[in-house]
Structures are given as C-alpha cells and as structure tokens.
C-alpha cells in the first residue's frame, strides 16, 4: 500500500515541480508484510495505538475480527495457528491490553501452537528512563519468559525482517508463541514506498521437514519387533502436523491399537476397530512397547510412570518429537526419533517393510474385549431420560449429533463437562476437536469457537461448563456481530464442579463454588440478536442443537444439569491438595 507524497522537489534548472514520490508508513508496511506471507486474518481488540492499524488492514482486504477482551482474541489466534500451521495474529493495545494477551501467548507456547502477539507500546527512551508515559511498561522484558522469541521494532525499515523472523520463529522446530513489540510512533513513521517495498521479506520454507537419522529408525524398528503388547499414542502434535494419511497407514499397517489424546481424536475415527480409547486404563497399564506420536509424557499421561502405567520398568518407549530435548524428560526413551511427525512416521513405514511386524492376536483380542465391555456399559447410561439431566444423558445426545454430522467441529471446556465429553463424544475427522490443551486453561471456549468458524467456515458446537463459560461469555456478542455458525451449549449445573455446595460457616453468603440458580445464559445470546434456548430434557436438547446446525445462526442452548451430578475437579481430583486439618475441623470435608 502506498500513500501520495505531498513534498515536491523543484528542478533547479527549470523551476518545474517533479512528480511527487509515493510514500508508505509503518502501518502499511506491517500489513504488507503479513499479506506477503499469506496471513490475511487478524484477531484483535482496537485501541491506542493500534486502532488505525486494524482499520487500514480491513481496508486492504484483510479480515479483522475484533473481540471484547484481548485474552479471547489471543486464544482465537492460537487456535487459528493450530488449524492452519500459519501463525495466528493477535493485536493488542499497550500495557493492560498486552498483559491480557500474554496469557494466551503463554498458552500457545505451552501447547506448541504458532501465534504472534503484536502489541503497541510506549517509546523506548521514555520507558527506559521511567518518565511516566501513557500505559508505560517494558513489555518486551515481561514477554520473554512466556514465549519462544520476543522482538522489538524501532524503525519502519525493520518491519519486513522483524515479521519474517517472527513467522519463522513461530512455526519452525517446535511451534509456539512469539511477541512483537511495536512502539506507537514507529507506526506513523513515513518512508519512500519503493524503498519500503524492498524491505519486505517473504519467508521461504519456515518449517522445513526434518527426517530422522537412519540408525534411529533402525533402532525403533528393532524395539517394535520385540513388542508383545504394543500401543500407539497419538498427540495433538500429530494432529497439528497434518500428516493424516501417513499416520493412518502406520496404524493400519502395524495393526497396533492406538490411543488418541483429546485433540488427536479424529486423526483416525474414534470408531476405528483399532481405537483403544474405551480400553485406556488397560492399554496404558499393560502395553510393553509404546510409540508416542506427537505426544508428550507430561501430566496428561501421568509422566509415563506411576499406577496408571503399571509395571513401568517393563515398558519401552519410542518417541517421535521435533525437539530432541523432549526425549527422556520423564522416563527413559528406548528409541528417540527426532524429526517432524510426517517424516518420522514415513520412515517407520518404510522400515517396517518385510520385517514381520504385527501384534499378537491375544493382545488385540484382550483390548477389543475390554473396549467392547466398557462401551456396552456406557451405552445404557447415555440413554437415560432423567430430569434434570445428568452429564451422561446430555452427552449421549451430543454423541448422536456428532455421529450424524461428523463435519461439525467440537470445542470443549469445563471440568466434568470436559472430562466426560472427551470419552463419550466420538470424533470422525482430524482437527475437529479443540479443547483446553496442555495447560487445562478455562476460558478458551469462545475464542476457539470463533477461530474455528472463521478459519474453516464449518459449523461449530462449543460445549461449555457454566463456570468455563463465565471466563469468555461476553464474546457471544462477537459471534453475533460476525454472524458465525457457532452453537454454544452450556451445561448449567449452577456452580463449579457441582451446584449444591454448602457454606461451611453456616452464614448467608453462598458457597464459594455456587452460582445463581438456573441462570438464563440463553438470554445473553438473544440480547445480541442470536437464538437462545432453555432446555431441560434430552429431547429438547437434541432438537435445539439440530435446529442450530441446520440454521447456522449464532445460538446458545442453556441445558439444565442436575446440580448434584458433577464431582470435585472432574477426573483430576487427585491434583487437589488434601488438608488434614480440614478433615478434623469440618465434617463436610469428610464427605
């Protein structure tokens, strides 16, 4: 984008004016640099000093999605990065706005999703002397511990290279968040348009494929050869890599049972005959060889040890990861494969040729029998018609909806709402389930739903606990403003974990985990022009969700759940510290 120059140079010999030179500025160089690299969407909250940057970006054909809170804009940008493998862009104002976006930036880095947080800031000379500028803060120093890389721009001529570095940093190696600090005055800095164009950089092959070493592949194949009870674990890193066909080939060619982590669900359908999700406890405990594909042995897998893993000393791990430092982070890795998921999986497939790799029939029969028994036991619970509904009845409805409409994207957060949906609702396609990820952060729901709708154009159903929705609920206005095909389903049990908590003092204040009973969240969506529904039975829930998907209108379904249906902290109650003093002092603590 160029601006007409107002200065005129007079020709000394003739006195005639030369044609004015075209000019550009920092605003337009940022936009041009992003567009040159195929980035055409910005998630932001407008304000000083970036308000006009959003306006100019929209004028230049970019899609600019304005949120009500920077944290939610950041969550949207990070999910856009997960879905597209290009860094999602979040723009915020300085200081408080920057800090609001910082949580999302840290979350993106923890989850290994590419994202760039661009924040306006005060001028360096004022910040460094602590002279009290408007929203003065040393944002660069604050950001550094929470992201992969952090850069500051001081001159408009550096914009092209800075954005190129930010893009490459965000997507190369292990993806993550990058911070880009832009002092307000630099945005208005004017320069010759032709010279400005020369400063722009198109990033070439920022995330090159990395094939594992041949001896590492041979070592992994030898470990697979000795497996009697093998298991493949698929993580969200495998979903991010988008090597879907190769992953399917590895699973089916090996014949191994596979266990998808929550955001890897759909890489192969949850209904695939080799899926061991319904026999999770059995396969984790009894497997003797475990192939980790884009998954980490962190808290989500009990660090690869402990009771969940049974006789851990008898297990051998093959781990595929782009980052060599991830190996041996919790347990010994017998066969590390360092490289991108697609290259490593392809190398394993090639190495398996004529090696007679196949799991013993007894192991497959054991896994299949356990999975069948557990699914049969669960089926009856999913078909109840209790009023008020419990989680199983409501999720039984959603399971059927997603079976009938598999192209719908599921966004999911909460405690009981998240834990139960993860194991009940089947996903059939890759990257069609988005949830709280590695950190377990609450409040990602509306940002994730908005990004999924923007980046894919598909129907999105966001299944929210009423507590989780409280962190991000105002973004239903954003959903309505952009008329997105998002259906929010709130499991409303009147509180955090449960809605029937007691005030242990016996006083008048409600318990710390209790909300206003039967709150009408559906009225929020109606207030902004969307569709609201208050449902109390499985049939009403089924009808409301199907109507929302058919209409593609912004919809919020407020589903009444029995206040007594949940349990403390969902399935991770073991992470709650136990107070011996409380057990002795308060009878309620001994329940």
Number of other residues whose CB lies within 10 A of the CB of residue 407: 12
CA triple 516-103-40, angle to 5 deg: 110
> Average pLDDT for consecutive 10-residue bins of the chain (591 residues)?
49 58 96 98 95 96 98 98 98 96 98 97 79 83 97 95 98 97 92 97 96 98 96 98 98 97 98 97 96 95 90 84 96 97 98 89 97 94 92 97 98 95 97 96 97 98 97 98 98 94 92 95 98 98 98 98 87 73 73 59
Cβ proximity of 389 and 561 under 8 Å: yes
d(CA 473, CA 26): 35
pLDDT at res. 18: 66
User: Long-range pairs for 298-302 at CB < 8 Å and ≥24 separation?
Assistant: 298/329, 298/330, 298/438, 300/261, 300/438, 301/233, 301/261
Please give the helix or strand (H or E) that residue 464 lies within, else none.
strand 460-465
Residue from 320, 413, 532 nearest 75 by CA = 413
Tell me phi and psi for residue 409, to 5 degrees.
Answer: -90, 135
Instruction: Give the pairing type, strands 289-293 and 258-260.
Output: unpaired
- Rounded Cα distance between 513 and 334, Å, is 45
**In whole angstroms, how far apart are CA 522 and each of 38, 141, 531?**
38, 42, 8
Give the contacts of 15 (CB within 8 A, at least 6 positions apart). none
- State the number of CA atoms in the 13 A half-sphere of 141 facing the CB: 6
In 246-371, which ranges are E strands?
258-260, 289-293, 316-321, 335-338
Q: Domains in the chain, start-ordered, CATH in brackets?
A: 3-198 (3.40.50.970), 214-369 (3.40.50.1220), 383-581 (3.40.50.970)
Q: What is the Rg, in whole angstroms, of the alpha carbon atoms belonging to the chain?
A: 26
From residue 102, alpha-carbon distances to 108, 117, 498 in Å are: 10, 8, 30
pLDDT at 575: 74
Token pair, residue 487, equals 């259906």
pTM (2 d.p.): 0.94
Q: Which two tokens stand for residue 240?
A: 């991010």
Residue 375: name the closest of 424, 429, 420, 430 by CA.
Answer: 424
Q: Which two tokens stand for residue 293?
A: 């594909």
Task: Please give the pLDDT value at position 3.
Answer: 56
Query: Which among 582, 526, 529, 585 has a CA at the least distance from the CA of 558?
Result: 526
558: left (phi over 0), alpha (psi -120 to 50) or beta: beta
Beta bridge partners of 396: none
**What is d(CA 421, CA 412) in angstroms, rounded to the nearest whole number?**
8
Residue 286: CB atoms within 10 Å = 20
CA angle 142/76/57 to nearest 5° reads: 85
Sheet with 460-465: strands ordered across: 433-435, 409-413, 460-465, 486-492, 555-560, 531-535
Task: Evaluate whether 117 touches 105 at the Cβ level (below 8 Å).
Answer: yes
Instruction: Give the separation between CA 239 and CA 431, rounded to whole angstroms.
Output: 6
For residue 275, give the 3-state DSSP assignment.
strand
Residues 340, 207: Cα–Cα separation, whole Å? 9
């Amino acid at each position: 984008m160029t601006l007409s120059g107002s200065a005129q140079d007079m020709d000394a010999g003739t006195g005639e004016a030369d044609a004015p030179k075209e000019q550009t500025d920092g605003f337009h160089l940022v936009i041009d640099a992003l567009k040159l690299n195929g980035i055409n969407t910005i998630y932001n909250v407008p304000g000083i000093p970036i308000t006009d940057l959003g306006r100019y970006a929209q004028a230049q054909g970019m899609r600019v999605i304005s949120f009500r809170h920077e944290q939610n804009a950041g969550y949207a940008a990070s999910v856009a990065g997960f879905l597209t493998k290009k860094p999602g862009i979040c723009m915020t104002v300085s200081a408080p706005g920057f800090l609001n976006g910082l949580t999302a930036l840290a979350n993106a880095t923890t989850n290994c999703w590419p994202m760039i947080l661009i924040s306006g800031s005060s001028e360096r000379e004022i910040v460094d002397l602590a002279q009290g500028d408007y929203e003065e803060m040393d944002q660069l120093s604050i950001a550094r511990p929470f992201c992969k890389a952090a850069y500051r721009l001081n001159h408009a001529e550096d914009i092209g290279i800075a954005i190129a570095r930010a893009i490459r940093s965000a997507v190369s190696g292990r993806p993550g968040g990058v911070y880009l600090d832009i002092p307000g005055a630099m945005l208005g800095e004017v320069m010759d348009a032709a010279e400005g164009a020369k400063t722009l950089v198109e990033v070439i092959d920022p995330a090159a494929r990395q094939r594992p070493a041949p001896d590492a592949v041979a070592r992994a194949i030898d470990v697979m050869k000795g497996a009697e009870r093998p298991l493949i674990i698929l993580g969200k890193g495998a979903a991010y890599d988008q090597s879907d066909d190769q992953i399917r080939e590895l699973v089916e060619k090996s014949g191994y049972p596979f266990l998808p982590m929550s955001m890897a669900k759909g890489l192969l359908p949850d209904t695939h005959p080799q899926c061991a999700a319904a026999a999770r406890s059995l396969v984790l405990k009894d497997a003797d060889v475990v192939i980790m594909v884009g998954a980490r042995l962190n808290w989500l897998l009990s660090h690869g040890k402990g009771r969940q893993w049974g006789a851990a000393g008898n297990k051998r791990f093959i781990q595929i990861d782009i980052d060599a430092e991830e190996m041996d982070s919790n347990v010994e890795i017998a066969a590390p494969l360092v490289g991108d998921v697609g290259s490593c999986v392809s190398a394993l497939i090639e190495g398996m040729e004529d090696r007679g790799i196949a799991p013993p029939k007894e192991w497959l029969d054991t896994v299949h029998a356990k999975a069948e028994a557990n699914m049969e036991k669960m089926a009856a619970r999913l078909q109840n018609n209790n009023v008020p509904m419990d989680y199983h009845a409501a999720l039984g409805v959603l399971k059927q909806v997603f079976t009938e409409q598999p192209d719908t994207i599921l966004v999911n957060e909460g405690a009981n709402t998240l834990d139960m949906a993860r194991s009940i609702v089947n996903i059939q396609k890759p990257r069609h389930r988005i949830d709280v990820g590695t950190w377990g952060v609450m409040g990602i729901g509306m940002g994730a739903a908005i990004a999924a709708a923007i980046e894919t154009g598909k129907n999105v159903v966001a299944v929210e606990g009423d507590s989780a929705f409280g962190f991000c609920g105002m973004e239903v206005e954003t959903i309505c403003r952009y008329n997105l095909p998002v259906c929010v389903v709130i499991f409303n049990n009147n509180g955090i974990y449960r809605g029937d908590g007691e005030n242990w003092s016996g006083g008048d204040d409600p318990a710390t985990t209790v909300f206003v009973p039967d709150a009408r969240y559906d009225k929020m969506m109606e207030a902004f022009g969307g569709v609201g529904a208050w449902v109390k039975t499985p049939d009403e829930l089924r009808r409301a969700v199907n109507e929302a998907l058919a209409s593609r209108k912004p919809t919020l379904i407020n589903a009444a759940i029995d206040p007594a249906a949940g349990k403390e902290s969902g399935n991770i109650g073991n992470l709650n510290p136990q107070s011996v003093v409380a057990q002795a002092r308060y009878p309620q603590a001994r329940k």
